[in-house]
Amino acid sequence: MSLTALTYWVVGATFTLYIGIAIWARAGSTKEFYVAGGGVPPIANGMATAADWMSAASFIGMAGLIALSYGGYGGSVFLMGWTGGFVILALLLAPYLRKFGRFTVPEFIGDRFYSDTARIVAVVCLILCSVTYVIGQMKGIGVAFSRFLETDYQTGLFTGMVIVFFYAVLGGMKGITYTQIAQYCVLIMAYTIPAIFISLQLTGNPIPQLGLGSTLLGTDTYLLDRLDQVVTELGFVEYTTSIRGSTLNMVAFTASLMVGTAGLPHVIIRFFTVPRVQDARTSAGWALVFIAILYTTAPAVAAMARLNIVQTLVPAPGESLQIDERPVWFQNWEETGLLVIDDKNRDGAIQYSANPDTNELVKLDNDILVLANPEIAQLPNWVIALVAAGGLAAALSTAAGLLLAIASAISHDLLKSTFMPRITEKQELAASRGAMALAIIGAGYLGLHPPGFAAGTVALAFGLAASSLFPVLMMGIFSRRVTREGAIAGMVAGIGVTLFYVFQHKGIMFIPGTAFLGDTPENWFFGIEPNAFGIIGALLNFVVAIVVSRLSAPPPESVQQLVDNIRTPRGAQRGLVDH
């Protein structure tokens, strides 16, 4: 069977599975639609959270980002940032928000800060960060389809939209939860199987995490030492010490991703689905276990694939790969435009180095590292088909989670809680399905006509979540004194300064030419790059909220009781029942 036919079979089988689950897991009430009935076991929720969390960027992009754009060690900001956030989520937010026992993140902010204005500001912040994030997922779906199934981008995007529509509109959180569990299984197999093979081939050790620290097969040279040596010989920075910007920038970048992770609404609402407060705590641990399987494999994939690529291009020191001897995978990826060679000196060989004037591998896209991995390691076709299904699973699961966060904010926080409090539960359920359908169409439209900022979107989403939602959620739990005025001012200041900083360096709405300060390190505030600025926005949010709270009247007695109530697990069962 040809590779394309095989890929159709594997992807088709996974899609049938997702639709089957959707029919089985139909939502019959708002509680099922928003929080899957509140009865998801903690390990299952951990798995669903892992799929919800790991997007197309984690699956396809991250290993290449680490190995190529960030030169190795510099990419550690993603590894630590995107996992460390779960520690603050588990210790500072998840158990208390679960105790609060409602359906959405803005609902907590609205109740704790006794203000519909605060609720609406939270909805706006939620929609800003979720929409910027979902555009990247829709693009990922379209790209994965067009690359593996040889459809055009639009057909791929529409197919993805129909699948998500089916299980998200029908099943709400309940359908999404159970499909995410299936999607996790698909994506983790697709990620680890090629990694195991590549580790075996290079080091003889089947566990990639250990293979990364092992010696190369048949030699007594450590893999990382060899990698450091070959990249420095070509003029690149040493793989294991390549710092990103400055130490301060690395700290700020990591902190922004951590705090952003803890503040992303589609991740937080997953912790509303478990039965007990205690389950919210352990569930975060399970989520991180399932995420760590991929996140500790990724650096191994990064280093091993980088070594493979360099050794393909430079078979021995001083030698270069002859163009007509290049491997088949090389030619396959040239056709996609993700890998481009240009024989500048016309000697029939590819000179590869860090010097842009003489380097003839003029483009090596980050995404290639994971996507071409099975071909580089000469694995059978079914593994390549599985990688396609895995990339789609990662994009679909994250898109569905984001869409639910957007839809529930619209139907629950805007309609039911603010503008149309009289609607019945049945009407609200219909409204939430309608909002979900609208959100999918909106996201599809943005996927087809991505605004100029599509490239920078995922990192921006973290900055926005870190600077707007996380600080007020945390203060809402840990302080009785922070007031309505403080929370509103804090959110507006935090998200405002972050957007301002990103726009001043990257262009207003990322439109080229509208940046009023060039995006170069000399112009950055203490050398902190725009993607790492969320933590500064978050700090400002804290400071503004605390100062304004001191100047305004303390919260009413009932709110102080609410804070006391969420701090202990006792009575959590009642919270969800009387809603």
In the complex, which residues of this chain contact another protein (CB under 8 A)?
A: 73, 76, 79-80, 83-84, 86-88, 90-92, 95, 209, 212-215, 222-225, 240-241, 247, 250-251, 254-255, 275-278, 281-282, 284-285, 288-289, 292, 295-296, 299, 564, 567-573
Minimum Å gap between C-beta 207 and another protein is 12
How far, in Å, are 261, 383, 514 from residue 406 at the CA level?
17, 35, 29
E strands in 266-376: 321-322, 339-341, 349-350, 361-364
With beta carbons less than 8 A apart as the criterion, state whether 76 and 314 touch: no
Minimum Å gap between C-beta 53 and another protein is 14
Nearer to another protein, 83 or 468 (CB): 83
Q: What is the signed CA dihedral for 379, 384, 387, 389, rounded to 10 degrees?
A: -150
Nearer to another protein, 285 or 450 (CB): 285
Contacts of 387 (CB under 8 A, 6+ apart): 190, 194, 370, 371, 373, 374
Nearer to another protein, 476 or 507 (CB): 476
The residue behind tokens 């992807």 is 11
Minimum Å gap between C-beta 238 and another protein is 10
Q: How many CB atoms lie within 10 A of CB 558?
A: 9
Nearer to another protein, 252 or 385 (CB): 252
Nearer to another protein, 225 or 325 (CB): 225
Contacts of 458 (CB under 8 A, 6+ apart): 55, 57, 132, 133, 136
Nearer to another protein, 262 or 392 (CB): 262
Query: CA angle, 39 as apex, 35 and 44 as ends, to 5°?
Result: 95
Minimum Å gap between C-beta 308 and another protein is 17
Nearer to another protein, 285 or 434 (CB): 285
Q: For the packed helices 3-24 and 116-148, what is the interaxial angle rounded to 10 degrees?
A: 150
Contacts of 189 (CB under 8 A, 6+ apart): 386, 390
Minimum Å gap between C-beta 285 and another protein is 4
DSSP, res 410: I
Nearer to another protein, 523 or 568 (CB): 568
Nearer to another protein, 151 or 240 (CB): 240
State the Cα–Cα distance between residues 252 and 490, nearest whole angstrom.
Answer: 20
Minimum Å gap between C-beta 130 and another protein is 25
The alpha-helical segments, DSSP class H, found in 60-152 are: 62-64, 76-88, 94-100, 105-112, 116-148
